[in-house]
Amino acid sequence: MTHSLRIPDLTIPARPARAGWPAGVGPGDAGDPAVNDVDVIRVLGEARLAGTVHVVGAKNSALKLMAAALLAPGRSVITNVPRITDIAIMGEVLRRLGCVVRFAADDPVDPMVARGGVERSRSVVIDVPEQPGAEADYDLVRRLRASICVLGPLLARRRYVRVAHPGGDAIGSRGLDMHIAGLARMGAEISGEHGFVIAEAPDGLHGADILLDFPSVGATENLVMAAVLARGTTTIDNAAREPEIVDICTMLSRMGARIEGAGTSTLHITGVRELRPVRHATVGDRIVAGTWAFAAAMTRGDVTVTGVDPAYLEVALDKLVSAGGLVETRGGAFRVRMDDRPKAVDVVTLPFPGFATDLLPMAIGLAAVSDGASLITENIFDGRFMFANEMMRLGADIRTDGHHALVCGHERLSGAPVRATDIRAGAGLIIAGLCADGVTEVSHVHHVDRGYPDFVADLRALGVEVERGTAPEEPDLAI
């Protein structure tokens, strides 16, 4: 049976860029949370994804690389940066610290652009002053939790920093205890007042032995960036091992830092007197790549993903093989094909190299349409299942108990209006809508904009009937 969305053209015209922001990604422009929280994405279900999608640089790496540029005065250039809202916000954070930040076209050109599409990655050029500022304001930090990563580099260079306590996605508690405890061991005096974290090291930081209670990515990044300019040697045990950690250590090493053990659970950092600016390419986004892998499996499609080393997704791709999929890997690309209904598989999230917590919404989506029952266990964030109620509106059979979810699969879901609660939940709901009958409308898609450059265009290129537009106005119920 042939379906039609039968809804008006909701295309939003591109808006001119504000000063210093990429076109369409700035205050008051498409891409800004203040505007896009009223946007919706509508997809027609019973879709099958087929084709090739190119993945650009990882958001979770690019943001920290931008912060790392603060460690060296002069011009650093970071390429393969995704064209998303969070990058623009981080650019503004750096500007307020006294940096000159501009965005430029990547060279070589993004393959999407070469095919006549919209530019999805850019280079960010950062000119860092000899004396950067020492305060990160609340109005920006509250919108971007990753901006807390300026704490380490600013403390190392300025010996004083005042950073607003961060906000970010509503996916559970993500405290700064390990950041603060590690910096304190390196000689920092930490206090808090009026919603700000204040760190001082009047005599500079010194090397220390640090044992993290948990392999926190954010804490590892902040402590490494602080340690590269500290006196002596810092050892971080139980350090995070994610590819994004390796990426920032690679950039820092090119800047002149002395780091051993990147990619392992023990890092040794010998401080140096100064670093130099550098040009560095951002590692591919394994979470976006994993999203497309699960989308291919859920829709019984055939998708090739380029731009990411499949080794970063070994556990996730193995799960898709266990579910009945065919996975082929080669160099910086992989292909996922699913010919029949997926078989149910259990998933447990763990720090890298385990199954990534950011792919949990996609794992639940796969379980919702699989043959059998799946047990999904979340070990990283206590609020990851917040979006389960939205998935249940699509007909998913989900029962949650603490950090476990039992999901009983159905052949087909049912299209309905749903609301994105965070970046990955938004993408997961859109993809689940492809496995439903009828039209699924996902609201609050500004969350998706924070992690997926040009998501709608990629869906359309893979054969999806999809539209984006402004949600209808809420009725005025005031008495």
* Secondary structure element (H or E) that encloses residue 180, with its range: helix 177-185
237 beta partners: 211, 266
Contact residues for 401 (Cβ-Cβ < 8 A; gap 6+): none
Active site annotation includes 339? no
* Secondary structure element (H or E) that encloses residue 266, with its range: strand 266-270
Cβ atoms of 225 and 237 within 8 Å: the answer is no
| 8-state DSSP, 169 | -
CA pseudo-torsion sign 62, 64, 66, 72: negative
Catalytic one among 29, 32, 86, 169?
169
Place of tokens 């064209």: 83
CA distance readout (Å), 297 to 77, 302, 432: 37, 8, 11
CA distance readout (Å), 202 to 157, 164, 199: 11, 20, 10
Concatenating the DSSP letter of every residue in 22-59 gives -TT-STTSTT-HHHHTTEEEEEESS---EEEEE--B-H
CB atoms within 10 A of CB 224: 27
Place of tokens 């994405």: 41
Cβ atoms of 288 and 55 within 8 Å: the answer is yes
Catalytic residue IDs: 169
